Amino acid sequence: MESCYTIGESFHSAPTNAYFQLHNHSDYEMLLFLEGDARYIVEDNIYSLEPGDLILIRKHEFHRIYHNSSSPYKRVVLMVSPLFFQENACAEYEAQFLTVPAGTGHKITADTVRSSGLYDAFLRYKKYSEDYKLPFDIPVLKSIITEILYLINQVSHFSSSDFTTNPVKSIILYLNGNYTGEITLDALQEKFFISKYHLCREFRKATGLTVHEYVRRKRLTKVHELRSQGLRIGDAAVEAGFRDYSSFYRAFRKEYGTPPKKDLA
Question: What is the model's pLDDT at position 101?
Answer: 66
Asked if residue 206 has pLDDT above 90, the reply is no
Task: Tell me the whole-structure pTM to 2 decimals.
Answer: 0.77
Question: What is the Cα–Cα distance from 211 to 214, expressed in whole angstroms?
Answer: 5
Report the percentage of the chain scoring pLDDT > 70.
93
Pairwise CA distance, residues 210 & 86, whole Å: 38
User: How confident is the model over 21-42, as a mean pLDDT?
Assistant: 93
Whole-number pLDDT of residue 1: 46
Whether the per-residue pLDDT at 111 is higher than 80: the answer is yes
167-197 CB burial, b ≥16 within 10 A, e <16 = bbbebbebbbeebeeebebeebbeeeebeee
Tell me the pLDDT band of 132, cut-offs 50, 70 and 90. Answer: low
Do 18 and 208 form a contact (C-beta atoms < 8 A)? Answer: yes
What domains are defined for the chain? 5-154 (2.60.120.280), 167-264 (1.10.10.60)
Say whether pLDDT at 87 is over 50: yes
What Å distances lie between residue 141 and 31, 56, 122, CA to CA?
Answer: 18, 20, 11
Q: Give the model's confidence band at 262: pLDDT under 50 very low, under 70 low, under 90 confident, else very high.
A: low
Cβ atoms < 10 Å from Cβ of 199: 18
